[in-house]
Amino acid sequence: MSTLPVIAAVDGSDDGLRALDWAVTAARTRGATLRVVHVRQYAVWPQSVVLVAGPPDPAVDPVLDQVRDHLEKRTDRPETEYVGLEGAPGALLPELGSTAQLMVLGSRGRGGFASLLLGSNGMAAARDAECPVVVVPGPGRHVDEELDVEPGPRVVVGLHAESPDDATLAFAFAEAGMRGARVHVVAAYPWPVQTWAAPGEFTLDGADLEALERETRALAEGFLAPHRERHPDRAVDLRVPPGDAAGLLVAASRDAVLVVVGRHRRRLLAPARMIGSVTQAVLLHAASPVAVVPPAAPDS
């Protein structure tokens, strides 16, 4: 197991403290150090203020003091270190991903608008960090749809049968193993399939729904096979439903331990990192914590 730390990004908000508690458990189950990071963002100080009072003292950080008090109440906390930085959180947090095995932060920070479902720092970290990023939602998210699933903890993972990402599946199986959870795999396929018939007209293409489901299931089973072999004791529940992948994953997030989704690979004509529409929708609406996993390196 990696010896890199688990980073908990905090900012003094309630969402940040919820993410901190999640990170404590993640670090303990991994046998890793917990690194608590607070990035203080300040406006440029006028020269007159600097001459009179000086810039903020980097050793004085009320947010980290709050975290210390919060963690003192927990007897199960792992080895913990505290890091205070100054700068733009949306830029600094993703850079820290190269020094961590996991980064955890809240869905909306202290500086966000109350109407935002996901803060800009969380989106930047999920898009750009080199390590998996877990975004812990606030308590107000609810999913009304009920699924027919077996009782017990579940780690939900999205599998795109046409372009699966092995790193995403590996993370989901490993996380389920550490938490004693089932792996709930959602391999959705689009239906109904529409094809262009004439200007302004669309028609169903007549594809056999059962055949499409069988093909999707066969592809998914093939990609899951090596992970089943590496985790023979881990129960796997493969669902192959028709419909929108984002909506199905959000529905599956109800009472789930975690939802795991992948991030787009860089492409020649789109070299910038991208989250993808499905991952973004899951980050915005899932009721459970969401892990965004960067794609495996091409040569791995």
For residue 246, the domain's CATH number is 3.40.50.12370
Query: What is the extent of the structural domain holding 247?
Result: 154-293
Same domain, 209 and 247: yes
Predicted local distance difference test score (pLDDT) of residue 270: 44
Tell me the per-residue pLDDT of 84-100, one tens digit each, with 9 for 90 and over. 998 888 889 999 999 99
Question: Can you list the positions of beta strands (E) in 75-220?
Answer: 80-86, 102-106, 133-136, 154-158, 182-186, 194-198, 201-204
Same domain, 167 and 279: yes
Same domain, 166 and 102: no
Whole-Å CA distances, 68 to 73, 78, 110, 117, 134: 9, 13, 18, 28, 22
Cβ atoms of 169 and 223 closer than 8 Å: yes
The mean pLDDT of 183-195, rounded to a whole number, is 80
**Of 263, 261, 257, which Cα lies nearest the Cα of 287?**
257
Predicted local distance difference test score (pLDDT) of residue 117: 43
Same domain, 252 and 178: yes
Per DSSP, 297 falls in state P
Is 202 contained in some domain?
A: yes
Could you tell me the pLDDT band of residue 33, with boundaries at 50, 70 and 90? very high
pLDDT at 190 over 60: yes
Amino acid identity, position 199: P
Same domain, 127 and 224: no
Same domain, 125 and 51: yes
Is 148 contained in some domain?
A: no
pLDDT at 261 over 80: yes
For residue 68, the domain's CATH number is 3.40.50.620
pLDDT at 194 over 50: yes
Is 299 contained in some domain?
A: no
Tell me the per-residue pLDDT of 38-56, one tens digit each, with 9 for 90 and over. 998 765 445 544 444 444 5
Is 145 contained in some domain?
A: no
Could you tell me the pLDDT band of residue 6, with boundaries at 50, 70 and 90? very high
Same domain, 276 and 162: yes
Specify the higher pLDDT residue, 169 or 263: 169
pLDDT at 268 over 70: no
Phi, psi values for residue 80, rounded to 5°: -130, 140
Mean pLDDT of the chain: 83
Predicted local distance difference test score (pLDDT) of residue 211: 85
Q: Provide the β-strand partners of residue 237.
A: 184
d(CA 247, CA 253): 10
Q: What is this structure's pTM?
A: 0.85
Is 247 contained in some domain?
A: yes
The pair of three-digit structure tokens given for residue 269, joined into one six-digit string: 């004509």
The pair of three-digit structure tokens given for residue 194, joined into one six-digit string: 């529409």
pLDDT at 271 over 70: no
Predicted local distance difference test score (pLDDT) of residue 52: 46
**How many domains does one find in the chain?**
2
The mean pLDDT of 267-291, rounded to a whole number, is 77
Cβ atoms of 291 and 168 closer than 8 Å: no
Same domain, 178 and 87: no
